[in-house]
């Protein structure tokens, strides 16, 4: 019997293959709004240039207390609330990000701890802005194979911390935020129907943070030369993006045995309005068929697609039975698309009592985390480990402040 993390169904892979449905969704953005006019005070740009070249009017930028984990935790709690699930029912957390809290531990593990998802495995996934498509595809496959029943997929970013705020070509593009889906096995046909994932590493230098990894570790020189911030060849990325958005969308629709006419909505990565308009022309679809909210958030990388889905749901643009394509591209180069059939999932009415109970669960998770850390410290003292629980700086504190 094939079983991971205590899948109660204990299905063999492929046996009575369940469908992977999105049963919960949530988003979180920082409070701070930064307009194009605000940016024109720090770099040589203008509202008119940014709107005409990108479609972006404003973006949300992380405040001192916001981090990639804290935004992810907020989005995940919302998604679990919509799904009406307890954190301990989650079996796997996949967190796609390009701005993790640390190289390790994974941001996913920090989120797992803060949620009290005590039965879940957790890992980060790195595929730049395509990361959410990759994570969604992987989570759905874990469910379709029968290995797992409930997977939390998150895209979360604080790219503002990695942007070169003196580079007018990149600093105008990005914003911070998080989006999350709960995927669950259901017998009812639908959900994630198919995905395609692609990469062309020969274009890696087109969009890169050159230093801080193992190839170019941090030194005084790398800091002085600003090599820890995003460097991009905008024109080349633009050309690549317009090409792959069209090919990926066509391919994923065909792989699900459908046609473009079957689509009620396309939810593209929100990088640049002109890229989305070019994709619409390339696919021969009206622009109204595309969900666009980049004017308010800019490019939130892995978070842009789930945030757009959340807003499309709340605007009534997604109805049960709708066929949709999610399509993205990013550094790597990477790109990918997912074909979805939205199920008739109605968010449950949550009573005040239930909301209080959920807050209680998260308070218990915080207390558990503190208790485990303290216990580890005591064990270290008892067994004589000097290192136990002690590192140079107090890490992984972020979720405690929430
Ligand atoms: N304000 C004013 N002028 C500017 C700005 C700015 N913010 N940025 C660039 N310019 C200038 C350039 O210096 C250039 O001036 P020049 O002609 O005197 O040299 C002029 O505007 C035109 O520059 P282009 O690069 O041709 O401008 P373009 O129309 O290509 O727009 C942009 C630039 C917006 C970056 C576009 O190329 C783009 O969106 N590319 C894709 C970027 C992207 O999507 N990246 C994210 C990928 S996802 C991920 O993994 C993170």
The pair of three-digit structure tokens given for residue 129, joined into one six-digit string = 């802005």
Catalytic residue among 269, 272, 310, 323: 269
Residue 97 is assigned to a structural domain of this protein? yes
**Between residues 384 and 286, the one the model is more confident about:** 286
Using CA atoms, how far apart are residues 122 and 94, in angstroms rounded to an integer?
Answer: 6
**pLDDT reported for residue 383:** 84
Pocket lining: 158 vs ligand 1, CB cutoff 6 Å: no
**pLDDT reported for residue 382:** 87
Q: Which residue range(s) make up the domain with 195?
A: 19-341
| Region of poorest pLDDT, from 16-25, 151-160, 260-269 | 16-25
Pocket lining: 271 vs ligand 1, CB cutoff 6 Å: yes
Known catalytic membership, residue 21: no
Under DSSP, is residue 183 helix (H, G, I), strand (E, B) or coil? strand
Split at pLDDT 50, 70, 90, the class of 11 is low
pLDDT per position as a tens digit, 189-198: 999 999 999 9
Atom of ligand 1 lying closest to residue 46 CA: 1
Ligand 1 centre to CA of 95 (Å) is 29
- Select from 321, 341, 361 the last residue of a domain: 341
Split at pLDDT 50, 70, 90, the class of 353 is confident
**pLDDT reported for residue 252:** 98
* One domain, residues 156 and 288: yes
Pocket lining: 90 vs ligand 1, CB cutoff 6 Å: no
* One domain, residues 362 and 336: no
Domain at 32, CATH number: 3.40.47.10
* One domain, residues 376 and 336: no
Pocket lining: 163 vs ligand 1, CB cutoff 6 Å: no
* One domain, residues 102 and 51: yes
Residue 9 is assigned to a structural domain of this protein? no
| pLDDT over threshold 80, residue 48 | yes
| pLDDT over threshold 60, residue 121 | yes
90-to-1, 192, 351, 356 alpha-carbon distances in Å:
20, 18, 22, 20
Q: Whose CA is nearest to atom 48 of ligand 1?
A: 330
Report, as an integer, the average pLDDT of 280-306: 98
Calculate Rg over the CA atoms of the chain.
Answer: 21
341-to-145, 291, 326 alpha-carbon distances in Å:
18, 16, 11
**pLDDT reported for residue 399:** 47
Residue 229 is assigned to a structural domain of this protein? yes
pLDDT per position as a tens digit, 233-263: 999 999 999 999 999 999 999 999 999 999 9
Using CA atoms, how far apart are residues 71 and 67, in angstroms rounded to an integer?
Answer: 6
Contact assessment for residue 306 and residue 75, using Cβ atoms and an 8 Å cutoff: yes
Catalytic residue among 7, 36, 272, 299: 299
* One domain, residues 262 and 356: no
Known catalytic membership, residue 226: no
The pTM is what? Answer: 0.92
Residue 230 is assigned to a structural domain of this protein? yes
Q: Residue 365 is inside which H or E element, if any?
A: helix 352-383
Using CA atoms, how far apart are residues 18 and 260, in angstroms rounded to an integer?
Answer: 25
Residue 184 is assigned to a structural domain of this protein? yes
* One domain, residues 47 and 153: yes
Ligand 1 centre to CA of 133 (Å) is 25
Percent of the chain, pLDDT > 90?
A: 85
Residue 1 is assigned to a structural domain of this protein? no
Single out the residue of 331, 40, 296 nearest to residue 165, CA to CA.
40
Percent of the chain, pLDDT > 70?
A: 90
| pLDDT over threshold 50, residue 172 | yes
* One domain, residues 111 and 216: yes
Question: pLDDT averaged over the chain?
Answer: 92
* One domain, residues 170 and 261: yes
Split at pLDDT 50, 70, 90, the class of 401 is very low
Most confident segment among 8-22, 36-50, 335-349: 36-50
Pocket lining: 168 vs ligand 1, CB cutoff 6 Å: yes
Ligand 1 centre to CA of 240 (Å) is 14
* One domain, residues 271 and 381: no
Pocket lining: 169 vs ligand 1, CB cutoff 6 Å: yes
Using CA atoms, how far apart are residues 161 and 64, in angstroms rounded to an integer?
Answer: 11
* One domain, residues 377 and 286: no
Cis bond before residue 333 (omega within 30° of 0): yes
Residue 167 is assigned to a structural domain of this protein? yes
* One domain, residues 266 and 144: yes
Using CA atoms, how far apart are residues 95 and 153, in angstroms rounded to an integer?
Answer: 6
**Between residues 2 and 27, the one the model is more confident about:** 27
Pocket lining: 235 vs ligand 1, CB cutoff 6 Å: yes
Pocket test for ligand 1, best of 53, 133, 279 (most atoms within 8 A of CB): 53
> How many domains does the structure of the chain reveal?
2
Residue 6 is assigned to a structural domain of this protein? no
**pLDDT reported for residue 358:** 86
Using CA atoms, how far apart are residues 195 and 339, in angstroms rounded to an integer?
Answer: 6
Report, as an integer, the average pLDDT of 40-61: 98
Known catalytic membership, residue 269: yes
| Region of poorest pLDDT, from 8-12, 256-260, 262-266 | 8-12
**Between residues 361 and 302, the one the model is more confident about:** 302
Pocket test for ligand 1, best of 130, 234, 243, 333 (most atoms within 8 A of CB): 234
Ligand 1 centre to CA of 242 (Å) is 15
* One domain, residues 194 and 45: yes
Split at pLDDT 50, 70, 90, the class of 347 is low
Report, as an integer, the average pLDDT of 212-238: 97
Atom of ligand 1 lying closest to residue 128 CA: 50
Pocket lining: 230 vs ligand 1, CB cutoff 6 Å: no
């Amino acid at each position: 019997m094939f079983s991971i993390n205590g899948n109660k169904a204990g299905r063999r892979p492929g046996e009575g293959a369940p469908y992977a449905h999105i049963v919960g969704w949530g988003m979180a953005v920082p409070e701070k709004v930064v307009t194009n006019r605000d940016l024109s005070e720090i770099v040589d740009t203008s509202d008119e240039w940014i709107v005409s070249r990108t479609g972006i009017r404003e973006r949300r930028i992380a405040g001192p207390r916001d981090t990639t984990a804290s935004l992810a935790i907020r989005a995940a709690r919302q998604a679990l609330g919509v799904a009406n699930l307890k954190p301990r029912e989650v079996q796997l957390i996949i967190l796609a990000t390009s701005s993790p809290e640390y190289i390790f531990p994974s941001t996913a593990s920090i989120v797992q701890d803060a949620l009290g998802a005590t039965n879940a495995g957790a890992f980060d996934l790195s595929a730049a802005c395509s990361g959410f498509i990759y994570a969604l595809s992987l989570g759905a496959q874990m469910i379709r194979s029968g290995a797992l029943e409930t997977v939390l997929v998150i895209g979360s970013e604080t790219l503002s911390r990695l942007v070169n705020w003196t580079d007018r070509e990149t600093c105008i593009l990005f914003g911070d935020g998080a989006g999350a889906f709960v995927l669950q096995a259901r017998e009812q046909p639908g959900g994630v129907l198919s995905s395609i994932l692609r990469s062309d590493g020969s274009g890696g230098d087109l969009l890169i943070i050159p230093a801080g990894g193992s190839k170019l570790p941090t030194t005084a020189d790398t800091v002085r030369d600003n090599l820890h911030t995003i460097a991009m060849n905008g024109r080349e990325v633009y050309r690549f993006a317009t090409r792959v958005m069209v090919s990926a969308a066509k391919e994923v629709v065909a792989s699900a045995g459908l046609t473009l006419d079957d689509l009620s909505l396309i939810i593209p990565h929100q990088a640049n309005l002109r890229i989305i308009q070019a994709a619409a022309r390339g696919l021969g679809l009206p622009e109204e068929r595309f969900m666009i909210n980049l004017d308010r958030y800019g490019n939130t990388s892995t978070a842009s697609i789930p945030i757009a889905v959340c807003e499309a749901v709340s605007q009534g643009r997604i109805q049960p039975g709708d066929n949709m394509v999610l399509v993205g591209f990013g550094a790597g180069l990477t790109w990918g698309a997912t074909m979805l059939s939205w199920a008739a999932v109605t968010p449950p009415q949550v009573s005040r009592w239930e909301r209080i109970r959920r807050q209680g669960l998260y308070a218990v998770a915080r207390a558990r985390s503190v208790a485990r850390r303290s216990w580890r410290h005591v064990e270290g003292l008892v067994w004589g480990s000097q290192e136990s629980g002690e590192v140079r700086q107090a890490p992984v504190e972020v979720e405690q402040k929430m």
